[in-house]
């Protein structure tokens, strides 16, 4: 049995391992989610947002280049009343706006555009403004025709090239935004898939852990039930052995020592009758005879206390009628004995256990309660028999706290085992006033003697 019990391992290790695995999975998934969200945030902030800001600046560049194209068209119109140099202020304003837009565009495009691409647009714009400066220099020198030729042959082509470059960059930005949207969608889908997988794994882990816990609990409860049954069987065997031993000792005291002392008393009486009256020897013999008789009475009382023969000869009720006054003298308690109900014959085996419960309860009152009196009530009911022992002492809380309460605890265990042996119940209750009430209830079919 010891090997069987020790081979059943505690579920603590398995549960602890499951907890560690769950925590590791949660930490790993949290780290994975954090990385994914961080990448998503970086993708949105560093690519999408900056791409949109870059596109706004490219649109600004494109709008300014369109304004430049319109201005050059008007400059080539022969019916225009203003000289070419009059357009210098407008070109200067557009130049400043283009430079500002280009600078902001380069800042936003730094993350997703190569230095060569950024350098190309700036060089093309610088060459365009150099050609504009040469055109206005010819116009200020009065060479309007040469200046217009410069516009037709050089400036318009450069402006068209710049517009084409800006349009190409806008298309690239649009494509990049679409790619970013696709990457974001992939990240969302991947995270969503991982969430489902994690939830499924978590549910599986919870189910497996729960099944393991249920299985372990069933094994533990089965083992506890087995141990409880074994404990009850052992207690019953011990009680049975105790009663058998006490019965044997009681009979030995009553029969052997009782007969010996009775014989000694008889011999002393005959010997005393042979001694003359007034002889000192006769007085000594009488004194020895009285000592023998006193010893015989004590042995009979001790024999009765160990195993009351009255239970077998007269029944439980008569035994308690004898025992309560005896316990009152032995324990120094004032006992109030009450009987109620219609008496019925109690089985001897059940009576022994009821008698022992009363003995232990009164012993506890004497040793632990501090009370000087107690109430014993024997109640015959239609459904069974009830025995109550009540005291108004220090109560259960004090008894639990007593240093010597271990012995009383063992006594209570024995009382409960005896109650279970006869199919009854034992309750330890708080009395109405300060004190303790012990109540033993035995069903009638378990207590009543067969044929009685």
pLDDT at residue 247 is higher than 50? yes
What is the DSSP annotation of 304-337? HHHS-THHHHT-HHHHHHHHHHHHHHHHT-EEEE
Question: Which tens digits make up the pLDDT trace of 296-307?
Answer: 777 777 776 677
Query: How confident is the model at residue 339, as a pLDDT?
Result: 93
Tokens of 388: 């109550």
**CATH architecture of structural domain 2-214:** Up-down Bundle (1.20)
452 pLDDT higher than 50:
no
Classify 382 as helix, strand or coil: coil
Q: What is the pLDDT of residue 221?
A: 83
**Does residue 411 or residue 152 have the better pLDDT?**
152
What topology is assigned to 308-447 in CATH? Heat Shock Protein 90 (3.30.565)
State the average pLDDT over residues 98-102.
89
Query: Quick one: pLDDT at residue 4?
Result: 45
Name, in order, each residue with C-beta under 8 angstroms of 13's C-beta and a sequence gap of 6 or more: none
| Every domain of the chain and the residues it spans | 2-214, 308-447
Per-residue pLDDT tens over the stretch 397-444: 444 433 343 444 457 888 888 888 888 999 988 876 678 899 999 999
- Phi, psi dihedrals of residue 203, rounded to the nearest 5°: -60, -40
Are 419 and 425 within 8 A, CB to CB?
yes
Confidence at 2, pLDDT banded by 50, 70, 90:
very low
Indicate the SS3 state at residue 66.
helix
Select from 353, 373, 347 the least CA-distant residue to 431.
Answer: 373
Ramachandran sector of residue 395 (left: φ over 0; alpha: ψ -120 to 50; beta: rest): left
Percent of the chain with pLDDT over 70: 88
Average pLDDT over residues 240-267: 75
Q: How far apart are CA 447 and CA 240, in angstroms?
A: 17
What is the three-class DSSP state of 50? helix
Length of the chain: 452
β-pairing, 436-443 with 384-391? antiparallel
Q: pLDDT category, 381, cuts 50, 70, 90?
A: very high
**Alpha-carbon gap, residue 403 to 405, rounded angstroms:** 6
Residue 78 has pLDDT above 50, yes or no: yes
């Amino acid at each position: 049995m010891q090997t069987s019990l020790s081979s059943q391992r505690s579920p603590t290790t398995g549960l602890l391992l499951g907890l560690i695995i769950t925590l590791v999975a949660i930490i790993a998934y949290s780290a994975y989610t954090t990385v994914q969200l961080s990448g998503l945030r970086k993708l949105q902030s560093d690519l999408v947002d900056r791409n949109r800001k870059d596109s706004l600046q490219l649109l600004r560049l494109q709008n300014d280049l369109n304004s430049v194209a319109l201005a050059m068209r008007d400059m080539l119109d022969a019916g225009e009343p203003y000289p070419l140099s009059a357009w210098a202020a407008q070109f200067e304003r557009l130049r400043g706006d283009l430079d500002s837009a280009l600078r902001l565009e380069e800042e936003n495009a730094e993350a997703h555009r190569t230095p060569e691409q950024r350098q190309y647009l700036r060089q093309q714009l610088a060459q365009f403004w150099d050609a504009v400066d040469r055109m206005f220099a010819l116009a200020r020198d009065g060479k309007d025709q040469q200046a217009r030729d410069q516009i037709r042959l050089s400036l318009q082509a450069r402006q068209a090239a710049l517009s084409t470059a800006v349009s190409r960059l806008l298309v690239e930005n649009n494509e990049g935004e679409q790619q970013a949207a696709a990457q974001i969608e992939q990240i969302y889908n991947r995270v969503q898939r991982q969430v489902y997988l994690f939830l499924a794994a978590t549910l599986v882990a919870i189910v497996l852990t729960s099944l393991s816990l249920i299985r372990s609990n069933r094994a533990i409860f089965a083992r506890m039930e087995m141990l409880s049954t074994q404990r009850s069987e052992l207690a019953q065997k011990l009680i049975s052995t105790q009663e058998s031993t006490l019965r044997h000792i009681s009979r030995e005291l009553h029969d052997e020592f009782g007969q010996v002392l009775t014989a000694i008393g008889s011999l002393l009486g005959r010997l005393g009758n042979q001694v003359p009256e007034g002889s000192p020897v006769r007085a000594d013999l009488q004194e020895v005879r009285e000592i023998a008789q006193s010893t015989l009475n004590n042995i009979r009382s001790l024999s009765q206390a160990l195993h009351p023969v009255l239970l077998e000869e007269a029944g439980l009720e008569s035994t308690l009628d004898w025992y309560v006054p005896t316990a009152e003298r032995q324990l120094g308690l004032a006992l109030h004995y009450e009987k109620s109900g219609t008496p019925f014959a109690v089985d001897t085996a059940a009576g022994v256990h009821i008698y022992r419960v009363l003995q232990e309860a009164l012993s506890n009152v004497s040793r632990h309660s501090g009370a000087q009196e107690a109430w014993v009530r024997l109640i015959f009911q239609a459904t069974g028999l009830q025995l109550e022992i009540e005291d108004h002492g220090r109560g259960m809380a004090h008894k639990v706290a007593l240093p010597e309460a271990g012995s009383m605890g063992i006594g209570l265990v024995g009382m409960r085992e005896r109650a279970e042996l006869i199919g009854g119940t034992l309750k330890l209750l708080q009395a109405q006033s300060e004190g303790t009430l012990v109540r033993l209830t035995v069903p009638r079919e378990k207590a009543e003697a067969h044929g009685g």
